[in-house]
Each structure stands twice: as structure tokens, then as C-alpha cells.
Chains A and B, each alone.
Chain A
């Protein structure tokens, strides 16, 4: 009915999800325009996303929506975890903010044809008499009992109302289960990072997880397909908490008392272990979602709940080791920018290569478009290998082979081209082939 997203507005660009989604959308050439709004600076590297610093004042956003002829609004701004911000701010953002964003999409001549809300499975709550698998058409039996749940229920009610009044807009609500991944920070990932994982004595709740990459893919999927209605998004498989702890290679610590749990956990906050109220419900009764409705729309999950937990376990084990080792190879934006743009950097060796046809492939010296690039938007994020790659012709075989180990696929491609145009040493090609094989495994 409405085709795919071409001109997209992402709300909450400074949040983890806003940033991740904008990054992902940038890779799709069919998306002409990505505009991100937020009242804080974006926290992730963005190439062609245009950032507008604005709060959730509906009149201002409405002007942006109309002026840029936005056809798709993706609302990633909802706070679904109490640790993210204060209760008052979360409420302001979740309820008032949603109303404002929706108001910005209304009006007779609004160009918006698709509205996507990133919501949470906290909508269902956690109660004793819950079904083992929630389906989208189920209603809550009990009123929401925690502030975050209340906010989410209110925000979704506003969106449902909007969907009723604007039948010409495809309104998608995605209810995500608990997200885990190497880079996302949630109350649960903090709990799993503890040396021993606390449990409520006598309870082994069921947990379902989704990998952070699958969250981004689900948002993309809803942007490029017509998915009116509500969809649960959760990886296959529901795990018992004890099973999760085992997969992470940790030990359970069933010390939280089954009665008066909230009173007991409140002082723990001082010691850095924050158990928000919506998490307490999960640690007691757990929750499972039926994810078949989204699967029926040809969405494929990359990770099951179990695989998600295994990945997190790997990350948790590796992170203390990696933090020291990879430091020298890490991409530092400031350094790269300096090397790239500063007139003080000596680039005498470049003209020598400039004649060769391949030089342009890796030549990091500023192109003629330098001026416009700076004014328009942040310069395109250079691949660390692109600039960090020395001319292989000037290196010894051993040095090149040592370099191969630190390159990703695109870097390997580039190195191969350079080597072929240079000395074309067999050892180097062998090393590249070996590295590819290793990576593909």
C-alpha cells in the first residue's frame, strides 16, 4: 500500500537504538533521506544522516516532517529500562514525547505514510497467571504495576488511537523482549556481567532474549515491508534463568528473598546492582513471547535466545582481555580526521603513487570536495584499514603478513589489489587467502 521507506525520520537519534538504526539505514541506497531528531548529540558515527537538534515539540517536528516530506517515522525513543534515566524524565519522554511525535504526524496533508514504534514486551507485564507465551492479541489482565510498564501501556494506547484515526498510515508496533548483545547496556546485561548472578530464592523464571542486531533488522524489516499491527519480536527459544547462567559460564547466587524482594534490593543500588521494579517481576515469574506472527512475514532471526546468551558470554569473557590488546589498533576518530584533513600532515610520498591507477583506492589525502564535505555533514567515516594501510610495496613480506591478521574483508580486498599492482609476491597472496578462510570460519 505505502511502498517502502524512502524519506525516514528517526526519533531519539542520540539513543543507542536511534543511532544503530540510522547507521543501518544508511547502507540502503533506496533510502534517500535519513533525518534524526533528538535533543542530545548523536553518539554513533553517522555518514549521511542529518541530525537536527530539537526536543519533542510537535510544532517543530511537524515543520521538519513537512519540509522534508518524510514518509516514514521510526520512533526509537521509548525508554523501556529504568536504568536509562530518572523516572520523571522517562515518563515525560515516553508519554508526552509520544503524543508530541504523533501530533507531528497528523494533519490532513501530512506526508507520513508509515509509523513504527519501538515498544517493549514490558507491555504484557509479569504476573502469576500469565500464559507461557504471549500472543499479540492478548490483553493484560492486570493494570500495569511498575512505572515503565505504565508508560509503555500509555504510549501504545496513544499509538493505537492514532492508528484508528489515520487508516491511511501503516502503524507498526514492535514489542521487543529483553535485548542482549556486546554493545547494548541494559539492566539485565549489567546483572549478567556480575561475577555471580543473583536469583530470587526458589524461583527459576523463563527468559527470552533478542540479539541487538536482530532488533535493528526487525526495525529495518518493518521499514521496508507493510506490517500493520502489533508484532512480538523475540528470539526463538525460552530459557530458564538457571540455564542462562550456565550458558554464560557463571554461577547462580539465589540470595534474594522471595518475600520483600523489593525492600531487599533497594539498598543494593548503592553497591552498583540496580534492580528496577519491572525487572523484579521478570526475575520472579519470567515471560515468554510467541514470535510466530513476525516470522510469518518472512522475517528471519539471526540468533536464537540461546545463541544470543552464548554470544554475550563470549563477549563478557573476552572483554577484559581484549580491552588491553586491541587498544593500539582501535579506530580513533580524532586521529584519523587529523591525518586526513590537516594541512600539517606531510604527504610527500603520495604524489609518487598518484600516477598509478590504484592509488585512488586508498589515497586518504583530501579530495577536491573537501570544503563541501565539511560543511554539509561529518566526513564519511573512513575505514580504519583504509587510512592505516601502508603501501605494501614498501614493506617486507613478514610485515605485510603481520598486517593481514588485523584486516577485515574489505581491507583484505584492498591489500590484494595493491599487492597485485605492486610486487605481486606469492607469500602475501597466500596469507590473504589464509586470512579469508579464517574469517569465513
Chain B
């Protein structure tokens, strides 16, 4: 997260009520967003409805409905309007969790919304990924991007605070959350005055387990990591999609309203850290609950 030092904000942290008049110019900023041109099939972020629909109707549909047989709890915790930051645990060699969460909101939510998934900058430099990733609704995890999506465009954004530390963990460490970065996601939500929705995903760890990492091959290929999974690298690059048919359960938890916390996270790092830890603890707790109640990895 960019550490912007604002001296003015240190002195007082306005309560949300006092803050309303100050937000007037920001409203104006929102009005100045480019108008949507209906003739276009790609939006300003590079997201393409056509490409998204294609994957949604084929690959994602197949995995979501028939392969993972995903079940969703607490979908009503995803707000129907306004910006909201979804925070989830992250796992799997080529993580299937983001696509499944996006599909859940699209299919199960009473007012389906588009989900923007933040991904590492790494993908932007990699041929083909660079082309495909933005088309299906992924944006680089830059604080300015998250702020624009959450605050200006009032959209849903999904972050994985564990980042690659979550996806690279090996099978024996499943469902043990890694550290949640430096609380950047809390900072982002506070700045944008957006709700924080913790999300728990069970099943992704077993769908794409990693047995070991091969560092020399990682260096050679320039990939983020080079895992050994049941199908990769034995079946070539497509082996990354060789998911095992684990049963998926997604639970959306009660949202945290950051509007009450004030819009200046820089003045109170302790608050940011404690919220970050609280979110992490709630996700961990619910993961244990879900894994504990699960009778079978494959049949749920």
C-alpha cells in the first residue's frame, strides 16, 4: 500500500457525521467519471463482457456446478449496492477460489453484481496472462486501483491479503492462514469508506494441493512459484487446471462497516492492525468450524 503522509489528517479524525460535508467535492469527482459508452464491449479496466461470459458459461460453470458442487452461505452479507471489499483466504496452485466466489455472487445473489479480483502485478508482465487476466475482471492490486473501484465506481472488490504466501503453502499447512500483510486491505476500505466482507472458502486446498516446490525450475521459468501438484507439471501447463473434485463451501461473514472508523487510516495504524487481525481471526475461526463439520473432503 502506498504510504501517503497527510499532515493535515493527523490532528483530528472526523467522525462520520462531521465528515459528510467534506465529501461533497469527492461526490463531484464521482460525477466526472467517464460516461459509459454502450457500444463498447470492453470497459475502461480492460474487462470484456464477451470473454467473461464465454468463460462463465463454460469452464467456470462446469467447475462451480458439477465439479466442485459449490454451496454458499450468507450471500445476503454481500451488499446489494455501494462499494465493498471482500476479504478471503487463498489457496491452490492456480487458485480456483476467486472464480468460485465471483460465480457465487453472480448466481446466488438476489441482485447479481460484478466482482473485481485483485491480482499480482506479475501477471501484467506475462504474455497471454497479461491479455486474459483483465478481460475476465482482474485488476492489479494497486492501492489507487482499489480506491477508484471501491470509492469512485462503488463496485465489489475481492482481495486475498495472504497473497502468494497463501497459494504457495503446501498441503500439510492447509487452512492455516498466513499473515495478512500490513493491513493494506483495511487501509483501502477505510479510505473508500467501504464495507469489509470476510469470506471463507473450504475445498480449494484439496482441489489443487501442492506437495512441494521446485525452486530451480521456478527461477528458470520466471513464474511466481513452480509447484508439484497431482497434475502439474506432468500434464503440461494445462495441468494447472487439473483440479480434484473436492466439495466447495463458501461462507460470507457479517460485514464490517468502516464508515464508523473514519476515512483517515494513516493517523491510526493501531486501529488498522487490530481490524486486520480481527478479520483474520474471524476467517480462521469460521474455516475451522467449516472443516470440522465437513464429513468428507469430496462429498461435503
Contact = CB atoms under 8 A, between A and B. Distances in A.
A292 B31 CA distance: 9
Contacts of A203: 127, 130-131
A258 B45 CA distance: 22
B42 A236 contact: no
B127 to A, nearest CB: 3
B124 A128 contact: yes
A288 interface: yes
B58 to A, nearest CB: 20
Interface stretch (B94-102, B136-144, B272-280): B136-144
Most buried by B among A200, A236, A240: A240
A240 B42 contact: yes
A131 interface: yes
A132 B139 contact: yes
Contacts of A202: 126-131
B142 A292 contact: no
Nearest to B148: A133
A206 B46 CA distance: 7
Interface residues of A, number: 31
Interface string B32-70: 111101011110111010000000000000000000000
A240 B33 CA distance: 18
B142 A131 contact: yes
Contacts of B39: 306
A203 B127 CA distance: 6
B205 to A, nearest CB: 29
Interface in A296-329: 296, 304, 306
A296 B144 contact: no
Interface in A125-181: 128-133, 135, 138
A201 B127 contact: yes
A133 B42 contact: no
Name B's interface SS.
Answer: mixed
A9 interface: no
B127 A258 contact: yes
Contacts of B145: 131-133
B29 interface: yes
B125 interface: yes
Contact of B124 (A240, A285, A306): A285
Contacts, number: 87
Interface string A227-249: 00000000011111001000000
Given A132-B148, A237-B40, A304 B124 contact: no
A236 B34 contact: yes
A295 interface: yes
Interface in B114-153: 121-122, 124-131, 134-135, 139-140, 142-145, 148
Given A128-B125, A202-B130, A203-B131, A306 B46 contact: no
B23 interface: no
Nearest to B124: A128
A204 interface: yes
A243 B126 CA distance: 20
Given A132-B148, A203-B130, A243 B121 contact: no
Give chain B's interface residue range (CB within 8 Å of chain A): 20 to 34
A299 B128 CA distance: 38
B33 A128 contact: no
B34 A304 contact: yes
Nearest to B149: A132
Nearest to A129: B121
A121 to B, nearest CB: 15
Contacts of A132: 44-45, 139-140, 142, 144-145, 148
Contacts of A200: 127
Nearest to B45: A132
B295 interface: no
Contacts of B127: 200-203, 258
B28 interface: yes
A288 B43 CA distance: 12
B37 A129 contact: no
Given A203-B131, A204-B131, A243-B41, A129 B29 contact: no
A231 to B, nearest CB: 13
Contact of A238 (B46, B126, B130, B135): B46
Contacts of B48: 240
A123 B28 CA distance: 27
Contacts of A295: 32
Given A132-B139, A204-B131, A292-B33, A238 B44 contact: yes
B140 A237 contact: no
A295 B31 CA distance: 10
A204 B130 contact: yes
Contacts of A133: 44, 144-145, 148
Nearest to B141: A129
B155 to A, nearest CB: 13
Contact of B32 (A130, A240, A296): A296
A201 B29 CA distance: 37
A129 B32 contact: no
Given A129-B140, A132-B140, A306-B40, A204 B46 contact: yes
A399 to B, nearest CB: 43
Given A138-B144, A238-B46, A128 B121 contact: yes
Contacts of B41: 243
Nearest to A234: B34
B54 to A, nearest CB: 15
A204 B134 CA distance: 9
Nearest to B41: A243
Nearest to A254: B131
Contacts of A239: 40, 42
A236 B134 CA distance: 19
Given A129-B142, A285-B124, A243 B131 contact: no
Contacts of A288: 44
A296 to B, nearest CB: 6
A237 B37 contact: yes
B37 A306 contact: yes
A132 B40 CA distance: 18
6 residue pairs, one from A and one from B, having the closest CB atoms:
A202-B127, A236-B34, A131-B144, A258-B127, A292-B32, A202-B128
25 contacts: A129-B142, A130-B142, A132-B139, A132-B140, A135-B144, A200-B127, A201-B127, A202-B126, A202-B130, A203-B130, A203-B131, A204-B130, A204-B135, A206-B44, A206-B134, A237-B37, A238-B45, A240-B134, A243-B40, A284-B125, A290-B148, A292-B32, A295-B32, A296-B28, A296-B32
Interface of B: 28-29, 32-35, 37, 39-42, 44-46, 48, 121-122, 124-131, 134-135, 139-140, 142-145, 148
Interface of A: 128-133, 135, 138, 200-204, 206, 236-240, 243, 258, 284-285, 288, 290-292, 295-296, 304, 306
